[in-house]
Amino acid sequence: MTHNFDRWLGERLKDELPDPMTIPANPSAARYRASRKVRRGLPRIARALVPSVAAQFVLAGAGVAVAVAAGAAATGHPPTSFIPAVGGASSATAPPQVVVAAPGSTDSADHAPGQSSSQKKGSQSAPPVKKAVPSHASTPEAKSDGGAPEDLHTPEPRPSASPEPHGDHAVRPAPSPTPDSGPLQKVP
């Protein structure tokens, strides 16, 4: 009777379950192929060089630093730190700000002859000029804002103070805020 039941069970299972031969098995449509593509996507050399996640983070940070340095070299604007330095400018931020004024002045000198043709360029060089504005007209804005970032920019007047005798540089910052185009016309 047990053998009969076993036979009966086998026949019923073959009736009710699908035949394995009729189930299509196409590896190209299988789900594991997707993971294979992801795994093959990474170059083998890179995976061999950077096996650990921590090393990948370090390399990513180095890559960002190189990109920022390259961008700074290309544009002439050094990266500014967003961390407020309490008690004066840090050694990292202060020297680059000195550099800001010099290329900014040359840029503005370059823009000076073509002022009438390209005001867009003047608007592009707005950020360094904006920094110069509070430096010269420091007293009213510093009183109004009174924030720490303004205190950070206090070392800036020294480098920008050197071109002050030229007079052009003192007047030029004012037009950089976009609505006031009047002072720009006064310059020439």
C-alpha span between 85 and 90 (Å, rounded): 6
41 binds other proteins (CB under 8 A): no
**Residue 159 identity:** P
Count interface residues toward other proteins (CB under 8 A). 25
35 binds other proteins (CB under 8 A): yes
15 binds other proteins (CB under 8 A): yes
42 binds other proteins (CB under 8 A): no
Phi-psi region of 115 (alpha: psi -120 to 50; beta: other; left: phi over 0): alpha
Candidates 14-22, 55-63, 83-91, 126-134; binding stretch for other proteins (CB under 8 A): 14-22
27 binds other proteins (CB under 8 A): yes
166 binds other proteins (CB under 8 A): no
Among positions 13, 48, 53, 74, the unique one binding other proteins when judged by CB under 8 A: 13
* List of residues contacting other proteins (CB under 8 A): 1, 5-6, 8-10, 12-23, 25, 27, 30-32, 35-36
